[in-house]
Amino acid sequence: MLIRHRRRVDPASSEITPRVAYEKRRSLLGAALAAAAGSTAIPSALAAAPAASPGAGTRLATRPGAHSTIERPTSREHVTGYNNFYEFGTEKDDPARYAHSLRIRPWTIRVDGEVARPRVFDVDDLLRLAPLEERVYRMRCVEGWSMVIPWVGYPLAELIRRVQPTGNARFVEFETLADPAQMPGLSSPVLEWPYVEGLRLDEAMHALTLLAVGLYGETLPRQNGAPVRVVVPWKYGFKSAKSIVRIRFVERQPTTSWNRAAPREYGFYSNVNPQVSHPRWSQAAERRIGEDGLLQRKRPTLMFNGYGEQVASLYAGMDLRQSF
């Protein structure tokens, strides 16, 4: 393996994995050592994560949800210890190390814009808005790794129907918390803050799109986007906004954070498409965290992350290379 040591230190805003994080990636080094020893041990970033995940532990009453994969879920240790949540740092173990500073009560989510009934929801009201389901979804990161996660939540459409979007509402914009006192990663120039994501209204209303409040039957850990986030399993993970404070319905396509930072690399739709390579790496294969050693063969990436039967009709007639 060739490891380059002398590169510039400051991360460029055009990189979803900042170069400084790429060069220092302790998790890759740990995985390489494990693979060399013939082991499937977790990367060092995971091993360094605290045993008790911040914010987790409250059991939620759930029922089995539709659309779950039958694949074996990734271990809880991996799901809560290996994350992208740049508000807490760019290393994979930074969220688990630093998200304990996030205050998740009180917490409100403002829902406004092109709606007939704008509202401010308390997060505890959201927990009671609809029956909670457990849905096991495949999740794919743009960097080439994937997990299988048992989320707890209910379709985002349940909330959307209550605020009654007007005829002008075509897109949904999600704004996440940006508080430097709680989020040390906001000092990084890798993105403009607050983090903003967006979906087309029909994508947001789709039965697969989840308003998530937990995982593994418990409330969301802070490093996984507590207290409320969205989950869009057929898109790359960065489309699933964490720690949401505002949901706004708009007529025009919103400018999202990664699309603003690097429009050539991160399109608005960001559907999992193995035929469209990231400018700096292929998206045709992926490595399942906790399952595949670093030197083992990767698994092929599935179109729409394997959810094509459910969502392909949303994009009928679209050029998915141009609208990437």
pLDDT at 57: 67
Question: Of 56-65, 103-112, 138-147, 263-272, where does mean pLDDT reach its minimum?
Answer: 56-65
- Angstrom distance (rounded) from CA 89 to CA 218: 24
Domain hosting residue 222, numbered range:
19-315
Report if residue 11 sits inside a domain.
Answer: no
Q: Which has more confidence, 94 or 44?
A: 94
pLDDT at 24: 37
Report if residue 8 sits inside a domain.
Answer: no
**pTM of the prediction?**
0.84
Q: Choose among 151, 135, 130, 133: nearest CA to 63.
A: 133
pLDDT at 292: 63
Q: How many domains does the chain have?
A: 1
Cα–Cα distances (Å) from 108 to 77, 170, 177, 277, in that order, read: 29, 24, 11, 38
Q: Give the confidence band of 102 by pLDDT, cuts at 50, 70, 90.
A: very high
pLDDT at 297: 75
With H, G, I as helix, E, B as strand and everything else as coil, classify residue 239: helix
Cα–Cα distances (Å) from 204 to 93, 121, 170, in that order, read: 30, 18, 10
Q: Give the confidence band of 105 by pLDDT, cuts at 50, 70, 90.
A: very high
Task: Using CB atoms within 10 Å of the CB of residue 64, give its burial: 0 to 12 exposed, 13 to 18 middle, 19+ buried.
Answer: exposed
pLDDT, tens only, 166-186: 999 999 999 999 999 999 999
pLDDT, tens only, 150-166: 999 999 999 999 999 99
pLDDT at 214: 98
Report if residue 322 sits inside a domain.
Answer: no
CA torsion, points 145, 147, 153, 155, in degrees to nearest 10?
A: 60
pLDDT, tens only, 255-298: 999 999 999 999 999 999 999 999 999 999 999 998 866 666 78
CATH number for position 208: 3.90.420.10
Which one-letter amino acid corresponds to residue 55? G
Asked whether residue 13 carries a pLDDT value surpassing 60, the answer given is: no
Enter the tokens of residue 59: 């059991």
Mean pLDDT score of the chain: 86
Angle at 81 between CA 281 and CA 265, to 5 degrees: 25
